[in-house]
Homo-oligomer: A and B are copies of this chain.
Amino acid sequence: MERSELKALLEQVRTGAISADEAVDQIGEEPLVELGYATPDLHRGIRQGVSEVIYGAGKTAAQIAGISEALLAHGQGRILITRLGQEKAEAVRGLLPEGSGFRYEETARMGIIGSAPEPDGVGVVLVLAAGTSDLYCAEEAAITAEMLGSQVKRIYDVGVAGIHRLLAHTDDIQHATAIVAVAGMEGALASVVGGLAPCPVIAVPTSVGYGASFGGVTALLSMLNSCASGVSVVNIDNGFGAGYQANLINHVGK
């Protein structure tokens, strides 16, 4: 409840339009749907300007479908479901009502209801991936930013071991509004891009690698210690978080 709403409510009490008891109830009323196993937050759109996203891992298909339906019932037309395996996605599809418009993005492991809005950001979100193996994460970032209203450009397989592959895209790097840099192994892409880009860089370590890459920890640490300024980092494999953050940056002042 916004401060302005609170004041309006209190005015109603003052004029006797509602009783104090009713006001207490309303102040206490939570904008939530209680499903038992989950409490979808219907006000997040108002509070944060972005709609609810469902984290698919650790939820059953029935729970995901149930939450989706509750959100659809309350008028939310666009839903993202992240970390959704193919098999569970098919189960969710089967549980949703006909015509839900559910579709599945395999590389990004995302379920989507609704289409992407017209891009209305400041400029372009650039998604860079170091290697072919990092695409699952780069696509998660790219699709997230698109679904939230950004124009996205993808440039993949531009790791620093062949630095000229990256330098060939200096123009795109110089003119992006926000950059998502996705890399596994030693994650050096973030530092080189951070040194070339005049815009914020969101680095995403991936779990690609073996041995002392420790499932992405090396890339994570490398990115956190980037010698370039202007680089911040999200969790390992968190393409969603990076795309979300990049989209927020791309809407600054909007």
Q: Could you tell me which A residues sit within 8 Å of B by CB distance? A: 3, 6-7, 10-11, 13-14, 16, 19-21, 23-24, 27-28, 30-32, 36-39, 41, 43-44, 47-50, 53, 55, 57-59, 63, 83, 122-123, 130-133, 135, 156-165, 167-168, 171, 174, 177-178, 185-188, 190-192, 194-200, 202, 205, 207-238, 240-242, 244-245, 248-250, 252-253
Contacts and interface: CB of A to CB of B under 8 A. Distances in A.
Given A20-B14, A23-B10, A195 B160 contact: yes
A107 to B, nearest CB: 10
A16 B16 CA distance: 11
Nearest to A221: B218
A253 B159 CA distance: 28
A165 B41 contact: yes
Given A7-B20, A162-B41, A224-B211, A232 B234 contact: yes
Contacts of A187: 186, 222
Contacts of A157: 37-39
A140 to B, nearest CB: 12
A146 B70 CA distance: 32
A47 to B, nearest CB: 7
A178 B218 CA distance: 26
B160 A160 contact: yes
Contacts of A236: 210-212
Given A160-B188, A165-B32, A253-B122, A212 B218 contact: no
A49 to B, nearest CB: 4
Given A157-B37, A210-B237, A211-B238, A226 B185 contact: yes
B200 A245 contact: yes
Nearest to A10: B20
Nearest to A218: B221
A122 B30 contact: no
Nearest to A122: B253
